[in-house]
Each structure stands twice: as C-alpha cells, then as structure tokens.
Structure 1
C-alpha cells in the first residue's frame, strides 16, 4: 500500500515545527543566561543593580554572588514582600523600594547593617517596621505617600538626617520623636497634624522643614531655637496667630506666611522680621497694619500683602515702596490711618 502523500507532508511539517520550537526554547534559554550573566557582571563591576518593574530580571539565587553590591533599586516591581535574599547584601548602603505593595520588612533586612538610605515611598505601610530600629547607620528614610498612622519607634534611628513622612495619615508626633536631633530635612506635610509638640524646637539642626497642608493652628515658640533653618514651608494651614519665632532664624531668607488665617500683624513682632529679604503675607485675614511696619522700608526688599481685607493702614506704611498690594480689591474710602 502506497503512503498517503498528504499525510507524509503533514508529519514532516509537524516534525520541523517541533524542532524549530525546541531550537527557539534553547535560544531563549541561552539568551536569558547571557543576559543574566551580563547583569551580574555589570552589577559586580559598578556595585549597583536596578531591577525596577520586574523582579524576575535576575533569579533570586544569583543574589548570593552580589555580596559587594552597594546600591539596589527595586521600585515599581509589584512586590508585596521584600525578598529574603536581601540577607546576602551586607554592604548595601542604598535601597530603593518605592512604588510596591510592602506592609512590613523581613528580619533579613537587619543583615544590611551598612544601609544609609532607605526609600519606602508609595507602599502600604501603616506603622514603622520593627526591624528598622536595627539599621543604626540610617541617615535618609522616606515613607512618602504610604498609609502611616503610627510612627512610634522611629526615634531609634537617631542618626537620621533626612526624613520624609509626607502624604500619610499621621495625627500626632510622639514625644520620643524629639530624640531625632540629627535631623536636617524634615517633611511632614499632607498629614492630619493639629499641632506640633511644644518642644519641637529641640530639633535644632533642621535646615529644611515642610509642614504644609496639615491642620495646624499655631507654631510652638520653641521653634525659635531652629537657628539653622533655611527653608520653611507652612501654607496652607489654619494658623490665626502670627508666629513669634523669628528673631534667631538668621539663615532664613524668605518668610512665606501666605494662605493661612492670620488676622493681625502685631507691632512687637516687626523687629523680628528685619532679617528677611522677602516677606509674603498674601491671602490672609489681616485688617490692620502697625505703624512699626514702616521701619522695614529700607531693610526688606519685598513685602507682599495682596488679598488681605486691610482697613487700617498708616500713611507711613502706605508710602513704602517695597509693599505690594492689589488696591483694586478694596474700597479705598474705607481705609483709615
């Protein structure tokens, strides 16, 4: 019986397809090995590894060959937990885990005892991971846009110089927070804070402070001790009383108290304002200006008082060339001296 030519052609094609598929798999496997080898060699050479967006870029078992790694970025990798292989990286000084789904850190993180920068922004933390206290050399820590409500325990990281807690659900700073006396940059904006601790001024090394978009009604007088402050961002907050904390802030060049709820500019505060280059008080509720404000005419470059319902305005103040005000927003006939 002769063979069916169609059947023979079909079988032959099938064998070729199987062989081609096998070769493709082999090529893919060989290519993966080559790429993995390249990633490993590059990481060893530079001391840096970025596996963002795909945790499978490098097989976990390969981390054992990266003990000299100093910088690791695993942002937006879809991770719900930190890989335990992190324990093989004792020389790590920088770890970026931004944009994952982490709710805690494993015990293995304690093996990274040299860590100085830890970025945990845009994760699912509701409290400070307990093992964080073991990272005693940590200088920079970010929990920006997580879901933190409780920050107890963070005080153990006394070497912190930069701390970002922006965009969380923090309603109060615990008393022990004042132990972070090495802080130079602190961002606690976009939280639920109604007040700052009365001894907040103990953080005397702070150079940059962000407290905007909270529920603060006043700033504690102890902040007068923050003599190194260079950047202060406050607005908006429902602060009604003009803060009296400025006389020692010789590094602060710009005073921006705009978009608050300040109702009065007290005469006794004016001498504290002589060191500023610019003073911005726009979008408040100030109705009266003290005569003493005219003493700032030669020492302050710009005073912005736009969008305030001012009705008492001494003529000596009105004659100041460095004051900005939108006269069209008020009835000039109601202005008194």
Structure 2
C-alpha cells in the first residue's frame, strides 16, 4: 500500500538538531526528518518514507499535511502569523496534484470520510498576513482563481509582475509593508472591489488607479503621498476612501465625481482648502478633515445625507449661516481646536444635532437659543474664554447647560414683547413665542387642576420637547398629553398633589429629565421601566419608604435625588444596576444602616447621607467627602 504523511511532531537532540517524527499511513515505521537551526533559519534535509520521497527546500516552513488537505476541500488557506520568511512551494502548486498523490489521496479518503481527490476545490482565498515575507514568488500566477489575497503586515518591498495574472481578485490587502511604488500590473486587476495599501511608503499614486473602476473601498492612509491624480474621480463605485496621514496639500476637483462616496477621510494632511466640488457628493455621510490647515469649509450644498462632520484642529475662524443651511442632517459636528470667535444664532437650524464639540476656540458666549436643540446630548465648550456662562454651569454637563441656556432665553422673552395665545389660553398666560422658539410648554404656577386639551394640541403642533407643570394642584394627568409623549425629553411635575403617578408617564419614552419633587408619592408604577433614556430623577420631599424598584431599571440614570423621604434602607444590589450613576442624594431619611458594599459603587462622584439616624459612618467621615466615604465603606466589607 502506498504511504502518505498525515501527522508529525518535533523534538530536539542534545546538539540542538530538530527531529521530526513523521507518522505514515500504510506502515508501522516512523521516519526521521532532521534539520539544524542556523541564524534563525531552518535547514531541512530530505527524508524518505516507505516508498515516497518528499523534498523540502532550504528556508521553507513545514506545513502540516492536514492543513493542505483542508485547504483543498475548502478553497481557503490561512498561513498567517507563522514567522515565515518564505512561502513553501507547495502553496503555489496547491492546485496541482501528481498522479501518485492522486492515488494516495484517493486511497486515504476511501478509508476515512469517503471523499475523492477529484472533489478538491481550487484555492480562492490565501492569507499570508503577519509573517516576515520580503518577496512573493512569481509562481503566484498559478493561483489564477484567487479572489482574496491578504499579505498585510510583512516586509514586502516589491511585488511580482505576475500578480497581474490574478484577474479574479476582488480583495487585495497589502497594508503594513515597505512598498514605495505600486507595480503597473495591479491596475490590470479590473475586478478589484477592495484595495488596502495603508502603512507603506508610497510617494506617488499612478494615474492608472482610475482603471480600477469597480473599486468600492480604497485605503491609502499612512503613506507619503503629496498629491492625488485626477483619475481618482473615475472611481464612481467607491464608497469609502481613506487618505489620512499623508502629505496632501490639495485634492483634485474631480473628487466630486465619485458619486457613490459615503465616507471620506483626509485627516492629518496639509490641506489649506477643500475643493467646492466636494459639495456635490450627494451620498456623503461622513467627512473627516481634522488636523489640516483649513481656514474655512466649502458649502456642502448637495450633501443632504451628511451625518458626521469632523473638522477639528484646523484654522477655521467662522461658521457661516450658508454652511449651516447645507448640513441640516448632521448629527455629529466637531469644530474643536479652531479659531472660532462667534457662533451664529442659525446654529439651531441643526435640529438633528446630537454632539457638538466647540472646545478650545475663542468663544466668549454661545446663543441662548441652543437650549432648544432637543436632540443635543453632548455640548462641549471647555477651553473657551466664556464670559456669559458661569464656570460651575459649564462643569455640570450638557443637560444642565442646556437648561441654563433655556432659562436665560426665558428671561429675555419675559422682558420683551411677545405674542399671546388667543381665547381662554390668554387668561392662562401662555407665551406663544416660547412655544414656537423654545419648544417648551410652561404652565408652572397657574394653580391648574387639569390641562386644557386645546392647549395640548397647540403644543403638539409646535413639537414641544419640554413640559413644565410644576406648582399647580394636579392629582392626575389628562390622557390628551399622550400626543406629546413621543417627543418630550423633560417633564416637570414638582409641587403638585400626586399621591400616585399616572401610568401614562411611562409613555414618555425619550425622557432625559423627570422632576417629581414635593408630591405625596409612596411608590412609582412599573410602567415607568420604559423610560430607558432617563438621566435625571428627582424624588425629594415625598413619602417613599424605599427607593422604588422601577428606578433600578433606568440603566442610563446619572443623577438620583431622593432626600427628605422616609427611606429606611439602601438597596445596594439595586443600585449596582445603575452603572453610570454619579450623584446619589439620600439626605434626611430614616436610614439606620449604611451597607459597606455601597463603597463598591466607585462611579459615584457625590454621595450625600447626612440627616439620617445611622451611627456609622460618623459625621466626621461624611464631612471628608465622597471619595473618603467610599474608601471608608470598602475597608469595612467583610473578607
């Protein structure tokens, strides 16, 4: 019976010779394959099995026959991270089987899983990443069916001309090598969809790049490019282009022809201006231009799909109204580390904005009207010479800052002339201008027993996002308020006469702020568990004997005030379900014991327990502040 190799193991002799014990099928004998390490390379001699000779070339790595067998079954071969300095010849000839090998494979498979050698799949995916390859053999042309070739993270300085014979390639990964130029044959690969060339030393990109018309993803980041050819505009299927971390001083206007482009990254270059043609990229969703030398941004008149614009670390001096009108769909706007001195009132045009970074500019103030931007979750203004906003307001975070801006706007409106709602609502004193501009329904201090339905409908028309019903005589909430529930982010029901909270409040699923102070509440309904975005909750001056169970479902909760109630114990297990809780105020309750495990809530920045009847921790410990209090409690956790 012919012999075939199916497994081996390695050991060393006393003279550091490597001994490979190779098991063979069809014989009880084992043969030895000897080799000696020499300057990090393996010098392997030939060995003879029963009746088959296998010759290994100098410098080759041994590949387990089972790996080759599996590759012939699947069409995929992964030889990444093996320390190879040269690819074994068997890889380039893996699709070729000699008659003798075919006979052996047939016999072996007959005895194992029933497959035949003629059922093998030609290799279509080859991964040689993270090795020490300095060259690729010209015999790679034997693998004409390859669709994926990954040789990133090696030491390649050149590529064989025969690479151009792999006409079926759709993905070619050459990143993290030492390539200085690209061979012309790459541009013959007309089926390429993805080409990765990041982290090389390429200085010039040939105009022939325009021949790869099916490219969808091109990464040339971290190279030495000083210019980009106009032919890049021919890549009309390209949806992601990364040119970051090069030495580009300009972009060709033809970039505006890449009509499929959704993501353009040109950070860390030397650009002083962007071509106006970028404004023609109607499908652009992400534009990254940070760390350049831009003094202005082009008007992105057709970029109606733009969601993210990052232009920090430039020399931009202003944000013109014309620009804001062209980026109304933006959700993330980064303008940090520029030279902006004023921000126009038109910034409120960006009603979809969720994150705005204005850090480290020259702003002395920001428009009060920004307090009405209901979707804004992060407003960063640190590092500006602010004169109109107190430092303590800036330090309290976005929610407090927006509320402060709204309050200043209300003060301005109350001192000026404003239109009033007509009919019965004029008697209530509702400011129509406040409804329209601030999207706020403020009915505080009106001594109301119910909310007029007509007024609620008007508020819905104005897309109200904040409702203030505090300081009234409410015991229930009119069902008509439900039409506002899908948009409201702030709800203030403080200083009323609620003995139980209506389940309707649970429908306000986008609430960030809920104020229930000074009522007669003893518990909260489980229906509030739908308030998955809630960040601030005020329960002070009620009749709670414990923190309501539903509170522990608010995993986005950051601030919880529950002082001046009748709370007798602290549910540490429940509080651990609030991973970002930073402020916990339990002053003036009936707490007789403070669990040491409370000290494990390391995310707390403010823990207030004064005014409770417990004996430990002592007032002297409480006076040292939250970090000291948490350390004190942790030190007393039983081992």
User: TM-score range with shorter-chain normalisation?
Assistant: 0.7 to 0.9
Which residue pairs with 2:605 in the alignment? none
Paired with 1:266 and 1:150, the residues of 2 have a C-alpha distance of 35
Which residue pairs with 1:124 in the alignment? 201
Paired with 1:281 and 1:20, the residues of 2 have a C-alpha distance of 67
Q: 2:383 aligns with which of 307, 313, 325?
A: 307
Which residues in structure 2 correspond to 1:233-248 (within 5 Å)?
233-244=310-321, 245-248=323-326
Q: Is the 8 A contact 1:51 1:57 kept in 2?
A: no
- Secondary structure of the residue aligned to 1:199 is helix
Of the structure 1 ranges 99-108 and 168-177, higher mean CA displacement relative to structure 2 is found in: 99-108
Of the structure 1 ranges 165-174 and 69-78, higher mean CA displacement relative to structure 2 is found in: 69-78
Which residue pairs with 2:445 in the alignment? none
Query: Could you say if the C-alpha distance between residues 203 and 130 of structure 1 is closer, same or farther in structure 2, counting changes exceeding 3 Å?
Result: same
Gaps of 5+ in 2: 1-32, 37-42, 48-53, 78-120, 404-639
Which residue pairs with 2:219 in the alignment? 142
Which residue pairs with 2:364 in the alignment? 287
**Alignment: residue pair count:** 301
Paired with 1:303 and 1:276, the residues of 2 have a C-alpha distance of 10
Q: Is the 8 A contact 1:218 1:243 kept in 2?
A: no
Q: 2:124 aligns with which of 22, 25, 47?
A: 47
Query: Could you say if the C-alpha distance between residues 157 and 301 of structure 1 is closer, same or farther in structure 2, counting changes exceeding 3 Å?
Result: closer
Paired with 1:100 and 1:20, the residues of 2 have a C-alpha distance of 33
Q: Which has the higher strand share?
A: 2
TM-score by length of 2: 0.43
Q: Is the 8 A contact 1:241 1:264 kept in 2?
A: yes
Which residues in structure 2 correspond to 1:45-84 (within 5 Å)?
47-52=124-129, 53-55=131-133, 59-61=137-139, 63-84=140-161
Paired with 2:253 and 2:263, the residues of 1 have a C-alpha distance of 19
Q: Is the 8 A contact 1:93 1:115 kept in 2?
A: yes
TM-score by length of 1: 0.77
Q: 2:55 aligns with which of 29, 47, 52?
A: 29
Of the structure 1 ranges 47-56 and 225-234, higher mean CA displacement relative to structure 2 is found in: 47-56
Paired with 1:92 and 1:127, the residues of 2 have a C-alpha distance of 23
Which residue pairs with 1:163 in the alignment? 241
Paired with 1:248 and 1:114, the residues of 2 have a C-alpha distance of 36
Question: What displacement does 1:243 show?
Answer: 4.3
- Secondary structure of the residue aligned to 1:323 is helix
Question: What displacement does 1:255 show?
Answer: 2.5
Query: Could you say if the C-alpha distance between residues 26 and 148 of structure 1 is closer, same or farther in structure 2, counting changes exceeding 3 Å?
Result: same
Q: Which has the higher helix share?
A: 1
Query: Could you say if the C-alpha distance between residues 229 and 322 of structure 1 is closer, same or farther in structure 2, counting changes exceeding 3 Å?
Result: farther
Larger RCO (alpha carbons 8 Å, 6+ apart): 1
Q: Is the 8 A contact 2:284 2:305 kept in 1?
A: yes
Query: Could you say if the C-alpha distance between residues 256 and 212 of structure 1 is closer, same or farther in structure 2, counting changes exceeding 3 Å?
Result: same
> CA offsets per residue over residues 5-54 of structure 1, 9 Å max, x none?
xxxxxxxxxxxxxx977995104834859739755734456621122334
The alignment status of 1:177 with 2:177, answered yes or no, reads no
Query: Could you say if the C-alpha distance between residues 110 and 307 of structure 1 is closer, same or farther in structure 2, counting changes exceeding 3 Å?
Result: closer
Paired with 1:56 and 1:198, the residues of 2 have a C-alpha distance of 43
Question: What displacement does 1:59 show?
Answer: 4.6
Question: What displacement does 1:260 show?
Answer: 1.9
Paired with 1:58 and 1:265, the residues of 2 have a C-alpha distance of 56
Coordinate RMSD, CA, aligned: 3.4
Paired with 1:128 and 1:188, the residues of 2 have a C-alpha distance of 16
Paired with 2:400 and 2:306, the residues of 1 have a C-alpha distance of 25
Query: Could you say if the C-alpha distance between residues 51 and 258 of structure 1 is closer, same or farther in structure 2, counting changes exceeding 3 Å?
Result: same
Which residue pairs with 1:263 in the alignment? 341
- Secondary structure of the residue aligned to 1:186 is strand
Q: Is the 8 A contact 2:135 2:157 kept in 1?
A: no
Question: What displacement does 1:205 show?
Answer: 1.1
